[in-house]
Amino acid sequence: MSEKRRKRSYDEIQSLNAQVEICSSLESDVAEDNFNKPGLSKMYVKQSTRGRIDFITPKLAAALDKCKISDRDAVHRLISTAEALGEDVEKLIINRSSIQNSHIRFRKERAEKIRNNYLVTIKDSVVIHWDGKLLPSLTGQKSVD
């Protein structure tokens, strides 16, 4: 019984070695073909292209903020949504750092708008209320802080 197991495992190892040799020879052929082309090296056989379309809007960034979705979770959700809508994900800029940068940029813009709106209203008049409350004095004739 053990002799059969040894023979079977030996045959499996031999078949795996043969498959590895075939795969490595195919990879070397592809690498050599690509190496002969100008501008390519053996190390980088397939070069991926980066996305160029920035599609994150202030409304999308605000929705991600409101739902408390982290940048890393947003990457997964945006990729799956884009694929479901039939968009080519390779053309879109979807990564954690670009989402984080767009969040920062839109928050700064929103804060600047609020600051500018506040400066316009501050020119009219401002009433400041402190923590104190006016109560009648012990004599009851006037109110004191």
pLDDT digits (tens, 9 = 90+) for 93-145: 999 999 999 999 999 999 998 888 877 655 566 666 666 677 777 777 777 76
User: Which residue is it, tokens 């479901």?
Assistant: 84
Examine the pLDDT at 46 and tell me if it is beyond 60. Answer: no
Higher pLDDT pick, 24 / 68: 68
Kindly report, residue by residue over 51-91, the tens digit of the pLDDT: 888 889 999 999 999 999 999 999 999 999 999 999 888 89
The domain in which residue 69 lies consists of: 58-122
Q: Which of 26, 46, 66 is the last residue of a domain?
A: 46
How many structural domains are present in the chain?
2
7 or 55: whose pLDDT is higher? Answer: 55
Q: With respect to residue 52, please indicate whether it lies within any of the assigned structural domains.
A: no
14 and 35 part of one domain:
yes
Instruction: Evaluate whether residue 6 is within a structural domain.
Output: yes
Q: How far apart are CA 35 and CA 44, in angstroms?
A: 9
**Is residue 71 domain-shared with residue 115, that is, in the same domain?**
yes
Is residue 41 predicted with pLDDT exceeding 50? no
pLDDT at 96: 93
- At CA 41, angle to CA 38 and CA 46, rounded to 5? 100
pLDDT of residue 7: 80
Q: Both 4 and 36 in a single domain? A: yes
Burial 24-37, CB ≥16 within 10 A → b, else e: eeeeeeebeebeee
pLDDT of 42 reads 46
Q: Please give the model's pTM, rounded to 2 decimal places.
A: 0.49
Q: Given pLDDT bands bounded at 50, 70 and 90, which one contains residue 13?
A: confident
Residue 145, in any domain of the structure = no
Report yes or no on 73 lying in a domain.
yes
More confident residue, 28 or 90: 90
**72 within some domain:** yes
**Whether residue 18 is found in the same domain as residue 42:** yes
Residue 138, in any domain of the structure: no
95, 40: one domain: no
**136 belongs to a structural domain:** no
- One domain, residues 42 and 68: no
Three-state secondary-structure class, residue 143: strand
What was the pLDDT predicted at 125? 62
